[in-house]
Amino acid sequence: MNELTGKRALVTGGSRGIGAAIALALAEKGADVALTYEHAADKATGVVKAIENKGRRGFAIQADSADAAAVTRSVNEAVSSLGGLDILVNNAGIARSGSLPEMRLEEIDALLNINIRAVILASQAAIPHLKQGGRIISTGSCLAERVPMAGVTVYSLTKSALLAFTRGLARDLGPQAITVNLVQPGPIDTDMNPAANGDFAEGNRKQTSLGHYGKPDDIADAVAFLASPAANYITGTALTVDGGSNA
C-alpha cells in the first residue's frame, strides 16, 4: 500500500472523473499529489482535501491545458509546491465528435492543443526534474487503435499520436531509467462519457466484451501500477483497459 511513499506526482486534469481517481490512487499508495484544473475549483479543492485525509500533501493548480504557457507554468508550480517531481500523469483531455467536413477549426485546434500539444509540453517541462525511476504516464483511448464508429476521426487521431509519442520518448529517456507508458481507456462512466445517457452509451456498452462501462478506478489502478516499482521494466507500452472493446 505504500509503494509510492516519498514520491511526488502531478496529475493534469485531476479535479474530476478519471483524473481525480488517479490522484487519489497515487495518494493512497503514499505519493504527494498536485493536480491541475481549468474551471472546477470546488471539485479540485475536494480532491485535495481527500488527498490530505490520506495523510499526503495535495495541491491544486489552475491551468488551461489549451494554453501552452499555462501548461509549462503548472509543471513548474507543481515542482515548487512538492519540492520536486517523480511522476507526471498527462491525463487532461477533451472529446469532440462530428464528421470532418462539419468540424469547426476551433474544435480541431482544441483537440490538437489539449490532447497532443499539452502532453508534449508538460513532459518537456517535467523531464529536467525527473530522476532515475521517474515516470511519465499518459491517458489515451482505445479508439487510438480501433475506430468502430463514425464521427470520432480527429479525436482518434489525437489519441493515436500518443502511441508514437510514448514509444519515442521511452527510447529517449530509457538511458536515464525513466519509463514512459500509455493507458488507453475504453468506455468509462464519467461526466464526459456517462454510461446512463451519453451520446455513444448503448453502442459503447455493446462493443465491450464484458457488457458494461468501466469505472474511473479501473483506470486509476492501471496508472498506479505503472507508477509503482512493480513496473520498473515496463516502458514504451500501451496498456488498454477497455473491457474487451478492442478484443
Helix (H) or strand (E) holding 15: none
Q: Establish how many alpha carbons lie within 13 A of residue 148's alpha carbon, considering only the half-sphere containing its beta carbon.
A: 15
Tell me which amino acid residue 190 is. T
Active site residue 155: yes
**C-alpha cell belonging to residue 96:** 469532440
Gap between the Cα atoms of 200 and 204, Å rounded: 6
> Catalytic one among 37, 155, 213, 233?
155
Gap between the Cα atoms of 206 and 216, Å rounded: 19
Residues 6+ apart with CB under 8 A from 187: 193, 195, 200, 201, 204, 205, 207, 208, 213, 214, 242, 243, 245
Q: Which residue has the cell 462493443?
A: 207
| First-residue to last-residue Cα distance in the chain | 31
| Contact present, 65 and 36 (Cβ < 8 Å) | yes
What residues are annotated to the active site? 155
